[in-house]
Amino acid sequence: MIVGHQRGLCDSAGVHSTMVCMTETTTAAHPREHNHPTLREWLAGARPHTWANAFAPVVVGTGAAIHTVYGTAEGGMHLWRAFLAGVVAWSLIIGVNYANDYSDGIRGTDNTRSGPLRLVGSGIAQPLQVKLAAFGAFGVAAVAGTVLSLLSSWWLILVGMVCIVAAWFYTGGKNPYGYSGWGEIAVFVFFGLVAVLGTQFTQAGRVDIAGVVGACAIGAMSASINLVNNLRDIPTDSQTGKITLAVRLGDAKTRVLYYLLVISPLVVTIILSVVVTPWALLGLVIIPLVYVASGPVRYGAVGPALIPVLGTTGRAMLVWATLTTAVLIFVS
């Protein structure tokens, strides 16, 4: 019954969502322990629905940087630096996704999970394969980050090291902080404040109010994606001892917190319209997207029915990031 329901959700969502919606419950019923994942399965394991968390902060950080330096002596676009920042963020999120897959898989946390495909938990890949994939992604992030730091400020290498360590110990190590309710705070910090302001700083040499409030908006929306992921997993996480923020708060309060996080860009839009330009109100265009994204949360959806929220929330964040960046560049 559960497997059929999950497949129905995926089939109705389209090809991309089908890949995202591959679930542990499905694979657990008919495990394929051949340890040779297909390219499609590796891609699903990298969780493309989370990639907006990597690209949105780079977009906003670049827009804030252009707005900061345009018309000044150091004005100009640093597209290569923006590209490198994107490589760093993308590699980090792929690395943390594989690291989570590995760590949760060897702990048995993923054995009954109803979320997107888990390579280790399903037996599709050997733990070492996924661990090496995570380290490979972290290695790409380290190389790109080192080059970017040398082009701007060397001490950013230290920031990058902290990011990689934090990515691993989210679910890795003996005492992962993701198992103690700190996951959303880490996402807010690293995929919000650090990613946006780091992108702005490497291109402009400083940060400003546009970058700071933009970082808060992106961090909040990224945290909301992580939160709804954990909302879906409250039943299984509670059983396996993974005490996420959602487990601590409970179902009802977690849904309220999701609403507060997902509307944060709307609040930031109003702030930007006052301190930067009224044109920033263009960001309110995402209101219908936010309404649609929050629908399953609002109507009490549970389990696999919450999977689409990950993608729709991410798309709303990307649209807001793109519109806000366009405004910042336009008024520069």
CA–CA dist 36, 98 (Å, integer): 16
Counting every residue written for the chain, the total comes to 332
Per-residue pLDDT at 36: 83
Q: Which of 237, 134, 121 is nearest to 179 (CA)?
A: 237
Q: Which of 267, 253, 264 is nearest to 313 (CA)?
A: 264
Domain count, the chain: 1
Q: Which two tokens stand for residue 32?
A: 């394929």
CB half-sphere exposure, 88, CA atoms < 13 A: 31
C-alpha triplet 138, 143, 146: angle, nearest 5°: 115
Per-residue pLDDT at 34: 55
Q: What's the pLDDT tens digit per position in 152-174?
A: 999 999 999 999 999 999 999 99
Positions in the chain short of pLDDT 50 = 1-31, 71, 73
Per-residue pLDDT at 112: 62
Q: What's the pLDDT tens digit per position in 52-94?
A: 999 999 999 999 999 988 745 455 557 899 999 999 999 999 9
| Residue in this structure with the two tokens 């495909």, named with its chain if needed | 117
| Full domain range(s) for residue 107 | 2-330
